[in-house]
């Protein structure tokens, strides 16, 4: 089905991102798996390519695109290459910048945004704690005021880009008596005394992502690193989660679509009983179903992209796009593994890795259950 969400300038940008994937990412695919990280020179190359500054105003070294469709194009192309790299880049360029652009002081913007745009500074956001992620308002990491500093104590886990990040937006409890209204955002920087990282976590998939635990022991964070008003951290996160969730939906759909296309080619070549496996009616029908599911999902996600580009995407519609695309992505990839037979279970095949990489999309950035909770609440239930 033709898509209507993008114009010629977006498609030109798609070509430029695709060229970056061919030139820089594909030759490093195996190495990223070995070192369990996207190495720094790749970040800098992506910065030069203009992938990271889309949400950053020109005066701070970004593109100032102010058109979410460019972000969506970048997410589509990178997710088609590799879901882990798209999550690392997405957190850095799609999730973190709006916090600093919208809430930062002039001095904070000058200090951090140019480096984020050119890939010199890698960003992460740390909300989830070992004791829980879904109930964000119950977070336990504390920050206690001491003159013009905050003394930060606690830990975070499952943090994307956590091992390499130069700056981490940390959600901390600054007023234990106020629940969600007692949470403040502080930027913790590499080198601050008392800030340490655990190992790169051993995950079921997405080995390329340096997901880590973070520890804070009496870290003295200057008040000049506070993002936004004291006590407004929870609201700031809720306001920006729709962009994280539509970004997830875009990547989920693009990732599954790409592997589906590769699977169609595989089933045309692979033979059983003297004929291509894709030509058996069962498999042909299966692929017809998968393509239909993908295109129907894509249509809804595209509407969300267009709405977000106009500043009209609601948190509830973003939640629908996120859970549904994650569900479809996982269903499609599971069938793609099946269509590959035994090779589908071999790590050297892209389909096998894609299947493992995708599992987390139903869990992170708000699980499918939490998305349905939001939708249900909106129904007045």
Ligand X SMILES: Cc1cc2nc3c(=O)[nH]c(=O)nc-3n(C[C@H](O)[C@H](O)[C@H](O)COP(=O)(O)OP(=O)(O)OC[C@H]3O[C@@H](n4cnc5c(N)ncnc54)[C@H](O)[C@@H]3O)c2cc1C
Residues that bind ligand X (CB under 6 A): 91, 124-128, 132-134, 158-160, 203, 206, 211, 360, 363-367, 369-370, 373
Distance CA 86, CA 274 (A): 39
The span from the CA of 183 to the CA of 140, in Å, is 10
Q: What six digits make up the tokens of 7?
A: 């114009």
Known catalytic residue at 244: yes
What is the spatial distance between Cα 306 and Cα 313, in angstroms, rounded to a whole number?
A: 8
By beta-carbon distance, which residue lies closest to ligand X? 133
Closer residue to ligand X, CB minimum distance, 255 or 340: 255
CA distance 126 to 183: 13
**C-alpha to C-alpha distance for 175 and 332, rounded to whole angstroms:** 45
Alpha-carbon gap, residue 381 to 373, rounded angstroms: 9
DSSP letter (8 states) at residue 135? -
Shortest separation between residue 131's beta carbon and ligand X, angstroms? 8
How far apart (Å, rounded) are the C-alpha atoms in residues 284 and 290?
10
Three-point CA angle 337, 343, 344, nearest 5°: 15
Beta strands in the chain (DSSP E): 123-126, 142-146, 149-159, 167-173, 183-189, 195-200, 212-222, 226-227, 271-272, 275-276
Strand partners, 154: 216
The residue annotated as part of the active site, out of 76, 208, 244, 335, is 244
- Residue number, 302 or 357, with CB nearest to ligand X: 357
Q: Which residues are catalytic?
A: 244
């Amino acid at each position: 089905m033709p898509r209507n969400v993008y114009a010629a300038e977006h498609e030109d940008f798609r070509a430029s991102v695709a060229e970056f994937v061919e030139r820089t990412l594909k030759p490093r695919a195996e190495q990223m798996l070995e070192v369990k990280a996207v190495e720094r020179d790749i970040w800098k190359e992506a910065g030069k390519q203009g992938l990271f500054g889309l949400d950053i105003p020109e005066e701070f070294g970004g593109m100032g695109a102010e058109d979410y469709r460019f972000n969506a194009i970048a997410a589509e192309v990178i997710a088609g290459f590799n879901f882990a790299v798209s999550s690392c880049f997405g957190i850095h360029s799609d999730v973190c910048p709006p916090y600093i652009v919208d809430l930062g002081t002039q001095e904070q913007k000058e200090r951090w945004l140019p480096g984020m745009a050119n890939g010199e500074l890698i960003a992460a956001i740390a909300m989830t704690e070992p004791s829980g992620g879904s109930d964000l308002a119950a977070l336990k990491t504390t920050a206690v005021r001491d003159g013009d500093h905050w003394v930060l104590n606690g830990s975070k886990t499952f943090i994307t880009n956590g091992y390499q990040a130069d700056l981490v937006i940390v959600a901390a409890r600054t007023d234990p008596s106020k629940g969600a209204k007692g949470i403040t955002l502080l930027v913790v920087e590499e080198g601050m005394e008392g800030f340490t990282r655990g190992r790169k976590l051993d995950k079921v998939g997405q080995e390329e992502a340096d997901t880590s635990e973070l520890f804070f022991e009496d870290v003295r964070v200057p008040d000049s690193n506070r993002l936004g008003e004291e006590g407004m951290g929870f609201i700031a996160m809720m306001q920006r989660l729709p962009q994280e969730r539509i970004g997830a939906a875009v990547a989920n759909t693009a990732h599954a679509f790409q592997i589906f296309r590769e699977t169609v080619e595989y089933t045309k070549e692979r033979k059983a009983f003297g004929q291509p496996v894709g030509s058996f009616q069962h498999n042909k029908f299966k692929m017809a179903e998968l393509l239909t599911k993908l295109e129907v999902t894509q249509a809804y996600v595209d509407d969300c992209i267009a709405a977000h580009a106009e500043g009209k995407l609601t948190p509830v519609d973003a939640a629908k796009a996120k859970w549904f695309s994650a569900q479809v992505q996982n269903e499609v990839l599971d069938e793609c593994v099946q269509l590959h037979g035994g090779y589908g279970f071999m790590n050297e095949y892209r389909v096998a890795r894609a299947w493992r990489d995708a599992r987390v999309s139903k869990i992170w950035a708000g699980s499918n259950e939490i998305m349905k909770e939001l939708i249900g609440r909106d129904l007045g239930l």
